[in-house]
């Protein structure tokens, strides 16, 4: 059964975009995991013992500090003006790495390491190098591993770029968001084009050519024209990957976002059009569309993985990372272990206290049932490739082929509306239905209740 009972069949044909947005553009998860994080519960005992010996794992390190707060921010971060809270946190992080290394009790190989935040590039090259060395000591970083860091262009320097490259970082994701001054003023994030251009130059000089840009739509003062201009400016700097995220206005979770309500904000139809403008412009410039919101140049590893049907989706979005185990380090980080997700505390105080007692700072999690694992597979295929054979997925996971028949039947309204095509148990999202992929996935989410205050809009 699915919780997607809002898709009542009404036999309408050729609905307008506004009608589609009303029906399918509401609040749904981003499906970077299934079950999603809102299902994690506190009565969860951490377990690391099921990770197979000598398995390749991925590691995510959360650095929850920034120098100022962007008004649109939805991340778990804290504004700091000096380094002492950062250094205290790094000391606790070292303890967590050592504790996890000793608990797994045998050699695991790290194939992907990702520093996210916050603004991980508040850290110096030496800080990043010492974290990487400690991870290597405990998890054995394999040759050729991808080591990526998210970076705020306002905090980059040529020296940091050189330091990160020396530490082994080989991919940098720059938070660009928007190049227009009016929008930058509204979101409290002033970073002229020249600043982003300088970062790209410093990284290239340091030997880091794998550069991602994060861009956004749905922000104050943005229009289709400004989005087109952002794309034009972005491609001039030749990033190998681009993500285009819709601004998630969730003031009930992030009260500081209320300040944006004094500006004119794009409505659902304008947001939809802005996303389309960005998509068409990047495709026109030779980028390949990856999943619902990523773009990559043809030689980029993400594009190659998509072509080989090896694309995956995890908490960082679309990825080439095929490891079955993700170890999350730092406050709020989520680990994906065989049979379970677990999430660290979001409290700095609890994080340090638990580690000082030799305990993992885990706050909540969920054990995965065989049905969760099967549904996660279905949702991941839809998110990555816009098509899935539901009966085949059931069979591969040991369920009867008809197990998801009712969920597929719920998609009849979407079929009528041109969002999906149904061929027996094969669900294929149409080209025009792709902006609504998250709503299609929700039909296979047994936990989804359509709660408007738990997720951001689908479009
Ligand atoms: S730099 Fe990123 S994490 Fe920091 S406040 Fe801005 S949006 Fe949030």
pLDDT in tens, 320-369: 998 999 999 999 999 999 899 999 999 999 999 999 999 999 999 999 99
Asked if the interface predicted TM-score (ipTM) of this complex is over 0.95, the answer is yes
* Residue 454, pLDDT above cutoff 60: no
66 lines ligand 1 (CB under 6 A): yes
pLDDT of residue 455: 52
> pLDDT-derived band of residue 12, with 50, 70 and 90 as boundaries?
low
pLDDT of residue 380: 97
Number of the ligand 1 atom closest to the C-alpha atom of 117? 3
80 lines ligand 1 (CB under 6 A): no
433 lines ligand 1 (CB under 6 A): no
pLDDT of residue 8: 46
Average pLDDT of span 119-148: 96
Q: If you measure from the C-alpha of residue 251 to the centroid of ligand 1, how many angstroms do you get, rounded to a whole number?
A: 16
Q: Which long-range contacts (CB under 8 A, 24 or more apart) does 280-283 make?
A: 281/227, 281/228, 281/231, 281/232, 282/231, 282/235, 282/242, 282/244
pLDDT of residue 394: 98
* Residue 99, pLDDT above cutoff 70: yes
Q: Whose CA is nearest to atom 6 of ligand 1?
A: 70
Q: Which two tokens stand for residue 79?
A: 């504004």
Which is more confident, 36 or 2? 36
Q: If you measure from the C-alpha of residue 151 to the centroid of ligand 1, how many angstroms do you get, rounded to a whole number?
A: 10
* Superfamily of segment(s) 56-319: Aldolase class I (3.20.20.70)
pLDDT, tens digit, for every residue of 13-54? Answer: 689 999 999 999 988 999 999 999 999 999 888 777 778 888
* Residue 190, pLDDT above cutoff 90: yes
Hey, where are the domains in the chain? 17-35+369-442, 56-319
What is the percentage of the chain residues whose pLDDT exceeds 70?
A: 95
70 lines ligand 1 (CB under 6 A): yes
- What's the rounded Cα separation, in Å, for the pair 45 and 59? 20
Q: Whose CA is nearest to atom 5 of ligand 1?
A: 69
**Where is 143: in which H helix or E strand?**
strand 141-151
Q: If you measure from the C-alpha of residue 45 to the centroid of ligand 1, how many angstroms do you get, rounded to a whole number?
A: 31
- 1 - beta bridge partners? none
Average pLDDT of span 219-224: 97
Q: Whose CA is nearest to atom 3 of ligand 1?
A: 118
Q: Residue with structure tokens 């403008």? A: 277
- What's the rounded Cα separation, in Å, for the pair 433 and 204? 38
Instruction: Give the highest mean pLDDT range of 6-15, 44-53, 143-152.
Output: 143-152
pLDDT, tens digit, for every residue of 369-402? Answer: 999 999 999 999 999 999 999 999 999 999 999 9
Q: Whose CA is nearest to atom 2 of ligand 1?
A: 118
152 lines ligand 1 (CB under 6 A): yes
pLDDT of residue 456: 59
pLDDT of residue 449: 76
**Where is 416: in which H helix or E strand?**
helix 412-416
CB 428 within 8 A of CB 439: no
CATH number for the region 17-35+369-442 comes to 1.10.10.920
> pLDDT-derived band of residue 147, with 50, 70 and 90 as boundaries?
very high
pLDDT of residue 4: 37
Number of the ligand 1 atom closest to the C-alpha atom of 150? 2
pLDDT, tens digit, for every residue of 206-219? Answer: 999 999 999 999 99
* Residue 11, pLDDT above cutoff 80: no
150 lines ligand 1 (CB under 6 A): no
Q: If you measure from the C-alpha of residue 75 to the centroid of ligand 1, how many angstroms do you get, rounded to a whole number?
A: 7
pLDDT of residue 2: 37
- What's the rounded Cα separation, in Å, for the pair 27 and 81? 35
pLDDT of residue 408: 97
Q: If you measure from the C-alpha of residue 24 to the centroid of ligand 1, how many angstroms do you get, rounded to a whole number?
A: 29
* Residue 106, pLDDT above cutoff 50: yes
Closest CA relative to residue 4, chosen from 369, 440, 454: 440
- What's the rounded Cα separation, in Å, for the pair 403 and 406? 8
> pLDDT-derived band of residue 105, with 50, 70 and 90 as boundaries?
low
Left if phi > 0, otherwise alpha if psi is -120 to 50, otherwise beta: which for 279? alpha
* Residue 319, pLDDT above cutoff 50: yes
CB 316 within 8 A of CB 84: no
Average pLDDT, the chain: 93
Instruction: State the pairing for strand pair 294-296/288-290.
Output: antiparallel
153 lines ligand 1 (CB under 6 A): no
pLDDT of residue 150: 98
119 lines ligand 1 (CB under 6 A): yes
**Most informative mutation of 77, 86, 156, 199 for ligand 1 (most atoms within 8 A of CB):** 77
77 lines ligand 1 (CB under 6 A): yes
End-to-end CA distance of the chain: 25
Q: Residue with structure tokens 């898709």? A: 7
């Amino acid at each position: 059964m699915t919780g997607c009972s809002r898709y009542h069949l009404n036999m309408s044909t050729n609905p307008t975009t506004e009608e589609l947005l009303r029906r399918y553009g509401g609040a749904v998860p981003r499906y970077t995991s299934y079950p999603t994080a809102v299902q994690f519960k506190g009565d969860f005992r951490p377990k690391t013992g099921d990770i197979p010996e000598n398995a390749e794992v991925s590691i995510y390190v959360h650095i929850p500090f920034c120098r100022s707060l962007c008004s649109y921010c939805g991340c778990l971060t804290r504004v700091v003006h000096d380094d002492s809270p950062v250094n205290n946190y790094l000391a606790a992080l070292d303890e967590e790495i050592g504790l996890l290394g000793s608990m797994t009790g045998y050699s695991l190989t790290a194939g992907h390491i990702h520093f996210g935040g916050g603004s991980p590039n508040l850290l110096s090259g030496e800080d990043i190098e010492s974290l990487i060395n400690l991870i290597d000591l405990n998890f054995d970083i394999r040759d050729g591993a991808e080591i990526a860091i998210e970076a705020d262009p306002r905090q980059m320097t040529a020296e940091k770029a050189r330091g990160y490259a020396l530490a082994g970082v080989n991919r940098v994701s720059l938070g660009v968001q928007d190049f227009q001054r009016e929008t930058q003023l509204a979101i409290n994030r002033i970073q002229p084009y020249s600043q982003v251009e300088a970062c790209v130059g410093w990284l290239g000089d340091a030997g880091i050519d794998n550069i991602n840009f994060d861009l956004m739509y749905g922000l104050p003062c943005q229009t289709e024209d400004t989005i087109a201009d952002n794309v034009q400016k972005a491609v001039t700097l030749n990033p190998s990957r681009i993500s285009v995220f819709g601004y998630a206005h969730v003031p009930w979770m992030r009260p500081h976002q209320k300040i944006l309500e004094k500006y004119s904000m794009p409505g659902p139809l304008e947001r939809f059009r802005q996303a389309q403008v960005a998509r068409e412009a990047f495709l026109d410039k030779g980028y390949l569309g990856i999943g619902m919101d990523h773009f990559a140049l043809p030689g980029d590893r993400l594009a190659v993985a998509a072509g080989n049907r090896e694309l995956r989706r995890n908490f960082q979005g679309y990825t080439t990372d095929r490891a079955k185990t993700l170890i999350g380090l730092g406050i709020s980080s989520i680990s994906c272990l065989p049979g379970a997700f677990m999430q660290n505390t979001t409290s700095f105080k609890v994080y340090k206290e638990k580690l000082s007692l030799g305990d993992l700072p885990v706050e909540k999690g969920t054990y995965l049932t065989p049905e969760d694992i099967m549904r996660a597979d279905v949702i991941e295929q839809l998110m990555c490739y816009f098509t899935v054979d539901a009966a085949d997925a059931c069979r591969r996971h040991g369920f009867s082929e008809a197990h998801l028949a009712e969920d597929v039947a719920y998609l009849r309204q979407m079929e009528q509306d041109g969002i999906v095509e149904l061929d027996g148990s094969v669900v294929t999202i149409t080209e025009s239905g792709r902006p609504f992929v998250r709503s299609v996935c929700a039909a296979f989410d047994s936990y989804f209740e359509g709660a408007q205050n738990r997720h951001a809009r689908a479009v």
